[in-house]
């Protein structure tokens, strides 16, 4: 109720914490990762507050946790340079070299899964994470290009758009 009393209509507080457990992901197949849009779907609490869970990996959990190969380097960088501009050509020393290519593949496969199953896919990307890990901006154009090639329309929207749509559907019921 505190959230609603302060003028907020929605939150995005749920997340599949199994993605943090590398022991689970080692035994789970790739389908678990790309089928994220089928789990933790948006819903409305009895109070009217709308929950729009994050589905699948966030860029931060992917690059700075799951694909982290040098925790000490990452910790030192955060203390000295976190959220500051980096020199052109700079590359993250703490992330596995294949991380960006794998990130693009996973996101494109999540798009396909959501599209093929008629699901909303709620991504969580942080501009600074992409600035650091994707300085050539490959991910977003790859996603938009793949979405534009689908036979039917792909709804690319903000969370506010999702909330507005959920409110309309809820009022119609």
pLDDT tens-place string over residues 105-160 = 999 999 999 999 999 999 999 999 999 999 999 999 999 999 999 999 999 999 88
- For 101, the domain range is 2-172
With cut-offs at 50, 70 and 90, classify the pLDDT of residue 28. Answer: low
Q: What percent of the chain has pLDDT over 70?
A: 95
**Arithmetic mean of pLDDT, 56-74:** 91
Element (H, E) at 43: strand 43-44
Cα(23)–Cα(132) distance, integer angstroms: 27
pLDDT at 65: 87
Which residues is 14 bridged to in the sheet?
Answer: none
Which pLDDT belongs to residue 26? 58
Task: Average the pLDDT over 59-79 and give the result.
Answer: 92
Instruction: Give CA angle at 130 (128, 131), nearest 5°.
Output: 60
Q: Residue 51's beta-bridge partner residues?
A: 11, 43
* pTM given for the model: 0.87
pLDDT, position 100: 97
| Averaged pLDDT for residues 74-85 | 91
Q: Mean pLDDT score of the chain, rounded to an integer?
A: 89
Structural domain count, the chain: 1
Model confidence band, residue 73 (pLDDT cutoffs 50, 70, 90) = very high
Tokens found for residue 98? 């294949």
Orientation of helix 139-148 relative to helix 99-116, angle to 10°: 30
pLDDT of residue 150: 98
């Amino acid at each position: 109720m505190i959230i609603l009393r302060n003028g907020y209509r929605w939150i995005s507080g749920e997340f599949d914490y199994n993605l943090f457990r590398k022991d689970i992901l080692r035994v789970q197949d790739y389908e678990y990762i790309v089928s994220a849009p089928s789990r933790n779907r948006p819903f409305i609490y009895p109070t009217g507050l709308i929950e729009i869970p994050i589905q699948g990996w966030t860029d931060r959990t992917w690059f700075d946790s799951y694909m982290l190969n040098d925790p000490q380097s990452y910790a030192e960088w955060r203390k000295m340079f976190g959220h500051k501009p980096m020199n052109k050509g700079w590359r993250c020393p703490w992330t596995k070299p294949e991380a960006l290519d794998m990130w693009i593949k996973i996101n494109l496969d999540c798009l396909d899964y959501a599209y093929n199953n008629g699901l909303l896919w709620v991504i969580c990307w942080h501009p600074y994470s992409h600035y650091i890990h994707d300085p050539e901006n490959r991910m977003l154009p790859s996603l938009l290009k793949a979405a534009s090639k689908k036979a039917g329309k792909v709804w690319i929207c903000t969370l506010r758009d999702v909330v507005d749509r959920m409110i309309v559907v809820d009022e119609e019921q």
